[in-house]
Each structure stands twice: as structure tokens, then as C-alpha cells.
Chain A
Amino acid sequence: MKWLAVAAREIAGLFVEDVGFTLGILAWVALAALVLRELPVGEPWRAAIFLAGCLALLVENVVRAARKRAG
């Protein structure tokens, strides 16, 4: 049973390390599905805005983590 718990933890750990980061990504995907899809913007722009949001989330989280460790 201990081995099963380790496996379950390992599987969850594949996707979640920083809970805030994971929730941020999920929230952005949800926003893209519910809002961005309905916005009256040209077709390549939806994909571009979605990608820009993902990149911004990554950079912001990394910088915040570095700042937290430093101070």
C-alpha cells in the first residue's frame, strides 16, 4: 500500500509542484476557452494571445520564485 501511495504521489507530482503556478495555467486555459474564443479578434491573434499568456505566466512565476528565495 505504501508503494501505491508513492506511485500516486509521483503521478500527481508530474503535473503539480507549485500549486499557484498550476492553478494559474488552468485559469488561463479556462479563460481562453470561455472568453478568448468569443472575442471579436482575427484568427491568428487568438492563438498568439493564448501563447503570450502562457509565456507571461512562466516568466512571472520564475522571477517571483527567485525573488522569494533571495529575500
Chain B
Amino acid sequence: MRGWRPALAGTAAGLAFLALLVLAFGPLLARMPIRYLQLSIGVLLLLFGMRWLRKAILREAGVIALHDEAAAFADQSAALRAAHPRRGWDAIAVITAFKAVVLEGLEVVFIVLAVGAAGGLLLPASLGALAACALVAIVGCAVHRPLARIPENTLKFAVGVLLSAFGAFWIGEGLGFRWPGEDLAILGIAALFLAAASAAALLARRESAG
């Protein structure tokens, strides 16, 4: 819409800002006593995961509309086209790319910090996030369009299940509860969240149908 250079500059600045957040808060969180860290991160993960899962269930059940990536792309494109063209440094394009990367990336930073700090896995969590980011960037550059064909709600459903499972697990650990199977219990907790979410989607569909 307004050239690759400002888009790439804004994206790079946004990614640098997000990396700075991880570098600043990661080691800081790792200094907290493990019980408090597990409990506080667990509460945040549970709130975040269950909020995400709830929305994905309601979308799955048809109670609320699916997120329309193509419409969001059209709105943003129209706004950028309407903005005055600038010679040289295109601040509007840079800020738009920066804002999009930072606002969307905050969720990723939170997941990396939460999963990484509470489990002592900051590096693998960061590498996983970077790999996902590179994949999305490559596909985005290749198709020049929003990734509308990706089953977004299915992905959000799965991520919501996993985050909720991690959250419940860390809270239990923080409170001193013993999970059967210790760390492997996360798989069982995730399976139970998946079963409950699937049942909730069925019930919600039935309720909304009348």
C-alpha cells in the first residue's frame, strides 16, 4: 500500500521492542520465589487462556461471529490509502506497522514470559515464538494478503486449551497440590479442558438455536 521499506522498518522496530520486553522481564521474573512465581503466572495464564477459550467456544458454536480477517485488512488498507502520502520518511506507514506488531505481539510476549519463566524455559519458548513469527512473515510476504484461510478459530481453541491447562497446573503447583503424574498431568488437564470446551460448544449451539 505504501511501500515495503516503512512496513519493514516498523515491523523491525516492533519486534525489537517486544524482544526488549522479554529480555527485561524474563530474568526479573526468574528471581521470584518459585511458589509465588507459579501461582502468579498460573493465575494470569488461567485468566488469559480461559478468556481466549471462552471466545473460541462462542465462535465455534456460532453465538458470536468469526473474526473476519479480510474485512480488517480492507479497513486498514482504506485508512492507509486515505492518509496523505509523504515523501521520504513515511511515518504513518512505519507507525502502523509498529503498532500492529506490538499490539498483536504483546500476547505472544506474555505467553513466552509465562511459560518460559515459570518452567525455566525462556530460551525454548522464545525460539518457538520466533519460529512462528518467521513462518507468518514468510507466508504474509508470499501471499500479500491476510492469512484468511488459516483456521484461526481452531488455532485459538487449541491455544486456549493449552494455556488454560498450563495455568491450572501452575496454580496447583503454587498452592502445593499434587498432580497425579506430576508434569505429565498437563496432558491430562489439557485433554479435560478440550473435552469440557467441546461439550460447552455443543451446549451453547443448542442454547442459541433456541
Query: Taking beta carbons and an 8 Å cutoff, which residues of A are in contact with B?
Result: 3, 6-7, 10-11, 14-18, 21-22, 25-26, 29, 32-33, 36-37, 43-44, 46-47, 50-51, 54-55, 57-59, 61-63, 65-67, 69-70
Q: Is the CB of B208 within 8 A of A59?
A: no
Once bound together, how far apart are the Cα atoms of A62 and B208, in whole Å?
11
Q: Is the CB of A65 within 8 A of B48?
A: no
Would you give the 0/1 interface string for B86-130, flagging 1 where the beta carbon is closer than 8 Å to chain A? Answer: 000000000000010011001100100000000000000000000
Q: Is the CB of A10 within 8 A of B168?
A: no
Q: Is the CB of A63 within 8 A of B204?
A: yes
Partner among A11, A46, A54, A61 whose Cβ is within 8 Å of the Cβ of B177: A46
Query: Taking beta carbons and an 8 Å cutoff, which residues of B are in contact with A?
Result: 39, 43-44, 46-48, 50-51, 53-55, 57-58, 61, 63-64, 99, 102-103, 106-107, 110, 164, 168, 171-172, 175-180, 185, 189, 192-193, 196-197, 199-201, 203-205, 207-210
Q: Is the CB of A50 within 8 A of B172?
A: yes
Partner among B55, B177, B185 whose Cβ is within 8 Å of the Cβ of A17: B55
Once bound together, how far apart are the Cα atoms of A44 and B176, in whole Å?
11
Q: Is the CB of A62 within 8 A of B168?
A: no
Question: Across the interface, which residues of B come within 8 angstroms of A36, CB to CB?
Answer: 175
